[in-house]
Amino acid sequence: MNRFFHPLSRILATALAAAMLTAPPAASAEKAVAIPPPAFDAPSTATSATAILAGGCFWGVQAVFQHTRGVTSAVSGYAGGTVKSPRYKAVTSGRTGHAEAVKVTYDPRQVTYGQLLHIFFSVVHDPTQLNRQGPDTGTQYRSAIFTTSDSQMTVATAYIAQLDKAQAYPRSIVTKVQAAPKFWPAENYHQDYATLHPESRYIAYYDLPKIANLKKMFPQQYRDQPVLIAAK
């Protein structure tokens, strides 16, 4: 299943989705996994903090965190590469070194960093897949955590070790943890994509189930109305 490489009108997107309905999916959507929460977290009394997470196509990652209570903003973008001001076409070539990532701004008094990671590893993506998620392959779709503080680094590395030790997945976690590099927001047409294009077959098959899994598995953290970039 190829994603759209440029903005499409709703009419064109709907027509394309309808034409593809009889085609078999290129890959199965990632399944949610019930895993234990982090044994170690870092609660904070700060009013705002930032997390940068990469777990495949940023459309779905953004959508999940936009539906997470305590998140005040979730921006799709690029992180971890060497090129300044990367654009989508260059990133999807795999030559810039960037990962599609989402910058999550949240209120630590309502949702902790550990709780965000719990959601990230449980419903956002499959952290055992190397350089791919669903139908998307390449280093730009890698699983990565870009930490913005020493405490985030400690929580993230400890949680991965905890999950591997507990054999929470049939394979080892491949998620890389590193200090956050420069984050570059993606083009405007990538923002709020899952909300604006529910008729897209890609969104319906790969991303809407993630939101449903968030609601089912994390009812206390779920918010029905997403916090959208367009509303800012």
Model pLDDT for residues 106-141, shown as the tens digit of each residue: 999 999 999 999 999 999 999 999 999 999 999 999
For residue 19, name the pLDDT band (cuts at 50, 70, 90). Answer: very low
Q: What is the pLDDT of residues 145-171, one digit of tens each?
A: 999 999 999 999 999 999 999 999 999
Architecture of the CATH domain 39-223: 2-Layer Sandwich (3.30)
Task: Give the residue with greater pLDDT, 153 vs 42.
Answer: 153
Q: What is the pLDDT of residues 24-41, one digit of tens each?
A: 444 557 789 999 999 999
Which pLDDT score, from 0 to 100, does residue 14 have?
Answer: 38
Domain boundaries, the chain: 39-223
Q: Exactly one of 29, 49, 53, 57 is catalytic; which is it?
A: 57
Which pLDDT score, from 0 to 100, does residue 59 have?
Answer: 98
Q: What is the pLDDT of residues 102-112, one digit of tens each?
A: 999 999 999 99
Task: Give the residue with greater pLDDT, 2 vs 143.
Answer: 143
3-state helix/strand/coil string of the chain: CCCCCCCCCHHHHHHHHHHHCCCCCCCCCCCCCCCCCCCCCCCCCCCCEEEEEEECCHHHHHHHHHCECCEEEEEEEEECCCCCCCCHHHHHCCCCCCEEEEEEEECCCCCCHHHHHHHHHHHHCCCCCCCEECCEECHHHCEEEEECCHHHHHHHHHHHHHHHHCCCCCCCCCCEEEECCCEEECCHHHCCHHHHCCCCHHHHHHHHHHHHHHHHHCCCCECCCCCCHHHC
> Is the confidence at residue 7, as pLDDT, over 90?
no
User: Does residue 101 carry a catalytic annotation?
Assistant: no
Which pLDDT score, from 0 to 100, does residue 34 have?
Answer: 97
Q: Tell me the mean pLDDT in the region 217-222.
A: 97
